[in-house]
Structure 1
Amino acid sequence: MAEHPLGRFDDRLNFRAAADRPMILLYAKILILLWSINFAPPLLAHFLDTRWDRPFDRNRLFRDGRPLFGPHKTDRGLIGALLMGTGIGLLLGFPWWVGLGCAVLSMVGDLSTSFIKRRVGLTSGTVTPGIDQLLEGLLPFAVLVRYEPLGTAEVVTLLTVFAFGAYLGSWFFKRVLLGKPQENYPRPLSSRVRIRELRRCSPPLLPFHVWLNIEDVIYHQLIMKSTFRLLGL
């Protein structure tokens, strides 16, 4: 008996879905890797505050009299991003050179963006949507396309999603965690202090609950659960 045409159509759909699944997983891994590199400097700033935050440019000025990169680009942040990229890359199943290469190029892009922003008179720490994320997200694809051939449309889509997520993270860290709640704020601005304050906040800030408890999330969900899994407990 002849097979029903709808049956063949369903089989083709199932085959296409199965074929697309590995690519969707790859896209997710790429985004996680890039976001991890992007998130490393502010994460270290949160936990370490001002420890080991020596500016990468050693406070040097360019010939226009403005900082080379600015005080927010530190040795700590750059080294942390390299270690984060390599480590997260290995955990995601990438070869070591992919994670490290992405981290190096991402930081090159980040420093280049900072250099350009200083030249046009934007102060260190100024959030500029799109511009901040462009080179930092784009340059790592020079490594990623050597590992897995990606088309132009795929790169543009992944870059757009990365830029959107990175901007949201930057906005949250700088506007919520490091934003003055009032003009005469009595304490030195610190993300750790602001999180403790916001934990006692009103219901409108409850959607940020996970981020406000980021230390607990990292400790319990990542460190402890990973340790138990490795020990087979």
Structure 2
Amino acid sequence: MAAMPIFYSIVLLTLANGSPVVPKKLFGSRFALALDGGLLLFDGRPVFGASKTIRGIVASIVVTAVGGILIGLGYELGALVAIVAMVGDLFSSFLKRRMRMAPSSQAMGLDQVPESLFPLLACRETPGLSYADIFVVVLMFLVGELLISRVLYILRIRDQPY
């Protein structure tokens, strides 16, 4: 196991997946343009839902790019982690809408695995992650997100606990 690459990966994943919550709390519904533009698919359900915004994706990319610089891995890696994490998050939301789940509802594993696994697979060579390291990071991310989510809910930063 590679301790520093695992640590850096957790930091970048946390920034990528956590930063969209901050502008939501700061601005409320202002500047919250839904990524899917409210488009409904053949099943009458939104593509992603109103909670997936351009504002959140931009926040994720900017914050994680800065995080990449601060930990010495460069803005390019930070931005790439954020972009692929957001793809994983959108993938999860797309599936949840098809399963008729409400936005922000919990789907254990589906909410955590794609947004951590996809970027780790896409970026594994730069921080030097093995496949065993990736497994450990995904597991740590899943457990950590569940724990942190409850704390953020208690602090009224998050609207719902997971």
Confirm or deny a common fold (TM above 0.5): yes
Where do 5+ consecutive residues of structure 1 fail to align? 1-19, 180-233
Matches within 5 A, 1:84-233: 84-173=63-152, 177=156, 178=159
Cα distance change on mapping 1:25 and 1:146 into 2, 3 Å: closer
The structure number with the bigger radius of gyration is: 1
Residue 4 of structure 2 corresponds to which residue in structure 1? Answer: 25
Q: Specify the SS of the correspondent of 1:35.
A: helix
CA distance in 2, matches of 1:161, 1:117: 23
Q: 2:60 aligns with which of 81, 84, 108?
A: 81
Which structure carries more relative contact order (alpha carbon 8 Å, separation 6+)? 2
Q: CA deviation at 1:30?
A: 1.3
**What is the CA RMSD across the aligned residues, in angstroms?**
1.8
* CA pair 129-83 structure 1, distance change in 2 beyond 3 A: same
TM-score, normalised with respect to structure 2: 0.89
Residues in 1 aligned to 2:99 and 2:11: alpha-carbon distance in whole angstroms: 32
Give 1:95 shift.
2.2
CA–CA distance in structure 2, aligned partners of residues 175 and 63 of structure 1? 38
- 2:76, 2:5 → 1: CA distance? 17
Take 2:93 and 2:58, find their aligned partners in 1: how far apart are those partners? Answer: 17
TM-score w.r.t. length of structure 1: 0.63
SS in 2 for 1:132: coil
What is the rounded CA distance, in whole Å, between the counterparts of 1:106 and 1:68 in structure 2?
18
Deviation at 1:75, TM superposition (A): 0.9
Q: CA deviation at 1:69?
A: 0.4
Aligned to 1:36: 15
Q: Deviations over 1:161-187 (max 9, x none)?
A: 0111122333444576235xxxxxxxx
Change (3 A) 1:62 1:169: farther
Unaligned runs of 5+ in 2: none
AA at the equivalent of 2:14: W
Counterpart position of 1:66:
45
Identity of counterpart residues, as a percentage? 28
Map Cα deviations across residues 146-172 of structure 1 (whole Å, 9 max, x no partner). 213322211100111011112233344
